[in-house]
Amino acid sequence: MSERRVRVRFAPSPTGPLHIGGVRTALYNFLFARQHGGDFILRIEDTDSQRFVPGAEEYIQEAFRWLNLNFDEGVGVGGKYGPYRQSERRDIYKKYVQQLIDNDKAYLAFDTPQELEAKRNEIANFQYDASTRGQMRNSLTLPKEEVERLISEGEQYVVRIKITPNEDVHVYDLIRGDVTYNSSVLDDKVLYKSADELPTYHLANIVDDHLMEISHVIRGEEWLPSAPLHVLLYRAFGWEESMPAFAHLPLLLKPEGNGKLSKRDGDKLGFPVFPLQWIDKDGNISSGYRESGYLPDAVNNFLALLGWNPGNDQEFMSMDEMIRLFDLSRCSKSGAKFDYKKGIWFNHQYIQAKPNEEIAEMFLSTLKEHGIEAPFEKVVTIVGLVKERTNFVKELWDASSFFFMAPDAYDEKTVKKRWKEDSAACMSELADVLANIDDFSAATQEAIVMDWIAAKEYHTGNIMNAFRLALVGEGKGPHMFDISAILGKKETLARLRKAVEMLK
């Protein structure tokens, strides 16, 4: 058992945009696979044709490309266990459904929706199981010839698993330990529908995990209630030996209060719950982490810590570190609050940690939107000066637009507070001082200007405040002489003279 190759799968159903909880599930599978040198597989579970949403599969693939979580096998990649899209595996499932029927582990049920409804009205808490299946229209109660006649006449049926009541079913979970269920709580779940000739999720999921030699099933807690049925299916097929280990991840909870994180929480508090923007068929837009300006590395780091920790306080981790440190036994059983402010904090940290060139590259499109074309080297320098004040790449514009465009107005409050009686006179004097400097580097300017202030016995703060107002238009920005050095002598003098003119 111990030398079994690690093979894990992410198995989304293409029913809409992938929720951020699904992304976390995929990330944990990815970390686990990479740590063990195993395989990370993308399987699309699209057997529920009613819930199929066009574009969802493409969305899923694009999201993982963006996040750099690359699959080794699966839809879009290929591999020798394919096809990896369940809708392309009908014949495989048919064969295995038949095997269960032949071995008396499953049976055909012909009950119409009306008949089922009538039973539900007749018996409180009706459950299709050992206690009721004898009263229903199925291949266990009908004569063999009748069943054959119904099938040949094209009557629709479902195949149900035949659950033996009152048995202990153990689900061994790597996070939760041994979870025991009594089989009597389970109903004879539908495994297959003749109407669309497709299996249900449960059957397809187990058959595929077996055939694809999946070693570990790492998925959201919402699938835990299905796990005993899945264990019974492995038993029914005689595949207990190759049953994967289970790990059910904690739920993602609302940032405030209790309950499962929903899209509405995101809308209310202003954070995305999807990796990429999604536009539904009615044109409603749901925001995405990518479009909101998050860096993929920051998203991965943030998600990794929602339900897992490395055993100490370390938060900022590279992908390689996460791969090395990840440990299912350090995943929590209880839900993880979705602290989206932490996500913003991570994004801030990643912007600081990334090389300025990389951030500048991303900033170029924003600059373009504002009609700015600037030498790349200059953009890199500016990014380096202002990025500590930003959480998102797009915020770089507000923090730095004055480098690219002279102010056309001056912030009133700042003027009131910082433009003194003598500011105009001092600024035109300063312009003359600066005009005489040949080496316009920040250091040279600073030395000369400070000498001038000292000689004239001016108030440094007042001079600097007025200087800033003249160049920036308000009271913000990085070190003053860094600004004037980047603007260059000509532009600095022009802005000083314009301020003198406008503010008097």
Q: Which residues bind ligand GLU (CB under 6 A)?
A: 11-13, 45, 201, 205, 217, 219, 223
Nearer to ligand GLU, 222 or 240 (CB): 222
For the stretch 390-405, what's the b/e string if a residue is b when 16 or more beta carbons lie within 10 angstroms of its beta carbon? Answer: bbebbbbbebbbbbbe
- Asked if 32 contacts 38 with a C-beta cutoff of 8 angstroms, the reply is yes
Give residue 272's identity as a one-letter amino acid code. P
Cα radius of gyration (the chain): 32
CA dist., res. 246 & res. 180, Å (int): 13
Q: Which of 119, 193, 260, 263 is catalytic?
A: 263
Nearer to ligand GLU, 128 or 246 (CB): 246
Least distance (Å) between residue 217 CB and ligand GLU: 6
Tokens of 490: 């000509």
Nearer to ligand GLU, 217 or 449 (CB): 217
Nearer to ligand GLU, 217 or 486 (CB): 217
Least distance (Å) between residue 174 CB and ligand GLU: 14
Q: DSSP readout, 74-121?
A: ETTTB-TT---BGGG-HHHHHHHHHHHHHTTSEEEE---HHHHHHHHH
Nearer to ligand GLU, 205 or 484 (CB): 205
- Asked if 493 contacts 440 with a C-beta cutoff of 8 angstroms, the reply is no
Contacts of 20 (CB under 8 A, 6+ apart): 252, 261, 272, 273, 274, 275, 289, 303, 338
- Asked if 458 contacts 422 with a C-beta cutoff of 8 angstroms, the reply is no
Nearer to ligand GLU, 57 or 395 (CB): 57
- Whether 254 sits among the annotated catalytic residues: the reply is no
CA dist., res. 317 & res. 310, Å (int): 10
Q: Nearest 10 degrees: CA dihedral of 187, 192, 193, 194?
A: -130
**CA distances from residue 106 to 97, 178, 227, 442, 472 in whole angstroms, order as listed:** 8, 27, 18, 81, 76
Least distance (Å) between residue 198 CB and ligand GLU: 14
Least distance (Å) between residue 223 CB and ligand GLU: 5
| Burial class, 494, CB count within 10 angstroms (exposed 0-12 / middle 13-18 / buried 19+) | middle
Least distance (Å) between residue 201 CB and ligand GLU: 6
List residues with catalytic annotation: 263
